Amino acid sequence: MAYPGRWRESTAGVPADLQTGHASRTPVFRRVLGAGRNAVARVIECIPSACPLCHGAASGGALCAGCHDDVVASMQSLAGRCSVCRLALDKQAGCPDCACRPPAFDQVVAAFDYALPGDFLIRQFKAGRRFSHARFLAAMLARAVMEDGPQLPQDTILVPVPSSHASIMQRGFNPAAEIARYLAPRLSLPCRPGLLVRNHEGGRQTHLPRAQRMRQASGLYTCTASVGGATVAVVDDVLTTGSTLHGISLQLKAAGAVAVWGLVLARTPYR
């Protein structure tokens, strides 16, 4: 699927076979298409709606201002964070996840912590099949990307983490792909959903201990094409141990990626 944006800048340095099907269309056509989609998005954002958390007045299906601030408050606090994986740290402690396995990825951006009330939004989105949440959740992640320090290079490619067949059959959609679909136009970056594939189904990791998560994620994904010279931003809903992102990053860097970022809705606290 193609996404609007500043295509000349966002695909600079990206091999032609990784650019979307719309890349062959004229720049004028792409600008008109992008303007039309952005106009529709602005109209949707103005439609009155109930806040998904408090059911108070909001718009566009998004959170009200108060609930939004509550969800992102911990991520914006002055508490210590790992500079790479964004794990909340004790005052005197280093990062336990990065210490036990140096990450293959370079940077993580998270919109909020996987704790109340943000974790409730994730459960609504995934277990409750409220895929309409993807629009405002992607907007929250886009804001975090644009405000959280170093900016993504213009040659960055967005890639959602593939769901298992069983998960898609259960939910009816891939949460990471839905987030990436709305995130791409907000960041004016191309998205390549087919760049990553699962080698096998694998088991659910939700209730697995950290060590077992790390073993299970190894070799689970494959990069299907060269990404020589590009930065790749892997989109997912929740980052727990970083095992999935680590395994994917190894594959992407073997395929030529110069850097791999993780863009996630929520970062799970260490347990």
Cβ proximity of 136 and 130 under 8 Å: no
Q: Give residue 228's pLDDT.
A: 92
DSSP 195: G
CA distances from 249 to 41, 93, 106, 245, 261 (A): 32, 26, 9, 6, 8
Residue 221 forms beta bridges with which residues?
198
- Of 219, 227, 231, the C-alpha closest to 261 is 231
Q: Give residue 211's pLDDT.
A: 59
Q: Give residue 200's pLDDT.
A: 81
Q: At what angle do helices 65-72 and 134-147 cross, to 10 degrees?
A: 60
Q: Give residue 71's pLDDT.
A: 97
Strands 221-223 and 196-198: antiparallel
How is the chain split into domains, by residue range?
A: 7-267
- pLDDT tens for the chain, 271 residues: list them: 333 333 233 333 444 444 334 344 455 655 565 555 666 666 777 788 899 999 999 988 999 999 999 999 989 887 789 999 999 988 767 898 898 889 999 999 999 999 999 999 999 999 998 988 999 999 999 999 999 777 899 889 999 999 988 888 888 999 999 999 999 999 999 999 999 999 887 655 555 565 565 566 667 899 999 999 999 999 999 999 999 999 999 999 999 999 999 999 999 998 7
Radius of gyration from C-alpha coordinates of the chain? 18
Residue 198 forms beta bridges with which residues?
221
Q: What amino acid is encoded at 212 in this protein?
A: Q
- Of 105, 236, 237, the C-alpha closest to 161 is 236
User: Measured in whole angstroms, how far is the alpha carbon of residue 235 from the centre of its chain?
Assistant: 3
Cβ proximity of 75 and 111 under 8 Å: yes
Handedness of CA 185, 186, 187, 188 (dihedral sign): positive
Q: Give residue 55's pLDDT.
A: 94
What span, in angstroms and rounded, lies between the C-alpha atoms of 31 and 260? Answer: 28
What span, in angstroms and rounded, lies between the C-alpha atoms of 215 and 224? Answer: 22
Q: Give residue 224's pLDDT.
A: 94
The SS3 assignment for 234 reads strand
